[in-house]
Amino acid sequence: MARVVRGLNFIRMPRLCLAVGALLPFALHAQQGSSKLNTVSAATFKQQSFARGMIVSSFGDRLATSTASAARTPLPNILAGTTVKLVDSRNVEGYAGIFFVSPTQVNWLVPDWPTDGPLNLTIASAAGVVSTGTIQIGKVAPGLFTANANGTGVPAAMAVALSADGSQTVLPVADCGTAPGSCIPLHLDVAGPTDLILLLFGTGMRGYSTISAHLAGQRLEVLGAQAQSQYPGLDQVNVRLPRALSGSGDLQLVITVDGQESNAVTIAIGPAPHRITAISPESAMAGRSIPSFTVRGESLGNTVGIHFYPPEGITVTNLAVSADAVSAQLVIASSALVGARRVCVFSATGRSNCLHFAVLPGIQAPAEMTDPPPGARLVGSTVTFRWTAGSGVDQYYLAVGSSLGAHDLCHADQANRQQAVVSGLPVDG
């Protein structure tokens, strides 16, 4: 079923690649009684038909009384008191193995059902709450896991460089920050002296009769495809990346199994047309603007934009470009996700490598004047002003004026001090 190439076996994958134990941010609802289930592929997060031995996720309300993950294989049929029952049109019933349960999500494995067709699905919690739905089961239902755990973008994969002497070097395919959605494809060099093999991980593919892979419409050589032994329900496909695609940049890859296409994922074929070496600043707080954000590097003269991964919450304007630097104004929304992102420049010929940019927590509590208290009349020409520490503040500025909003009497940087003595104030109150 699978071919081994120069000793390249189906290998263990990093835990990043299988997000079946992740609790996604779905809201809790305090409702009683039964509810309808939304069941999707754990790889693509889309509603579709399902296959035997496939990993799926069901979403609903009050599906479990606690959060728990399976600690062993074979997978348990009862986890934290929650069960997943399936019944077909002949009233044959069975129970699924469970990876993970929470009040809003259950990840489970489609059992090796004897026939194709519709199955009635029932998830019952330890509290007796029953949720129902219907799924369609068939032979295959291909889906590829992605590094951002949302079914799109860079795959949860790895590359292996095969040298002529038989040695193997494992290479990363994705570059990820801490912010959700920050994973982007790393440029893979296919022009070197070594063969580059891409190892993809998915589900719903092991029952195939025919399998193929296409990158930007070009058919790839599939070296092997089979069930991966580390996790129940996980499938692995090994494909060779052709040297002819060198320098192509970001490309869409699709696996086709018995005529059914997987979700499209993105890989980057290097070298990158631009190279960036530094950014300034490397971080900023949410809710702030940066008048001049600068990216330095090589061959930047035809840059048309700066892009952040994920892009939400950051606005880029006033782009200025030279051969070795690109600058722009950034506005970071107060609601922007906190964490490390990736930033790159791009042009008509493709995007550069990416560097790390961190969005820091914004000011949650501003500094407040405590002495003199707000509205108080000043006594004497010398006054000591005191204020509270602001959350996330490392520098303060004091302005004293003869009218609201003015600073004609004092305006000075106070560094990180929380008090200042001001002299020469008028004595008329």
Check residue 319 and give its pLDDT.
97
Do the domains 145-269 and 275-360 sit in the same CATH topology, yes or no? yes
Q: Please indicate, yes or no, whether the overall pTM of this predicted structure exceeds 0.75.
A: yes
Compute the distance between CA of residue 178 and CA of residue 308 in angstroms, rounded to an integer.
13
Q: Which tens digit of pLDDT belongs to each residue from 264-307?
A: 999 999 999 999 999 999 999 999 999 999 999 999 999 999 99
Q: How far is CA 297 from the centre of its chain?
A: 26
Q: Which CATH number does 145-269 carry?
A: 2.60.40
Least trusted range by pLDDT, from 68-77, 109-118, 388-397: 388-397
The predicted model gives 316-325 an average pLDDT of 96
Compute the distance between CA of residue 71 and CA of residue 372 in angstroms, rounded to an integer.
60
Least trusted range by pLDDT, from 3-12, 310-319, 360-369: 3-12
The answer to whether 333 and 313 are in contact (CB under 8 A) is yes
Q: Which fold has domain 20-141?
A: Coagulation Factor XIII; Chain A, domain 1 (2.70.50)
The predicted model gives 123-145 an average pLDDT of 96
Check residue 6 and give its pLDDT.
35
Check residue 45 and give its pLDDT.
93
Check residue 120 and give its pLDDT.
97
Check residue 378 and give its pLDDT.
75
Tell how strand 283-285 and strand 265-269 pair up. Answer: unpaired
The predicted model gives 197-212 an average pLDDT of 96
Check residue 333 and give its pLDDT.
93
Q: Is 182 left (phi over 0), alpha (psi -120 to 50) or beta?
A: alpha
Check residue 296 and give its pLDDT.
97
Residue boundaries of the structural domains of the chain: 20-141, 145-269, 275-360, 369-422
Q: Which fold has domain 275-360?
A: Immunoglobulin-like (2.60.40)
Check residue 380 and give its pLDDT.
80
163 versus 188: which is more confidently predicted?
Answer: 188
369 band by pLDDT with thresholds 50, 70 and 90: confident
Compute the distance between CA of residue 368 and CA of residue 418 in angstroms, rounded to an integer.
10
For residue 104, is pLDDT > 80?
yes
Check residue 229 and give its pLDDT.
83
Instruction: Determine whether 169 is exposed, middle or buried from the number of CB atoms within 10 Å of its CB (0-12, 13-18, 19+).
Output: exposed
Check residue 156 and give its pLDDT.
95
Check residue 379 and give its pLDDT.
76
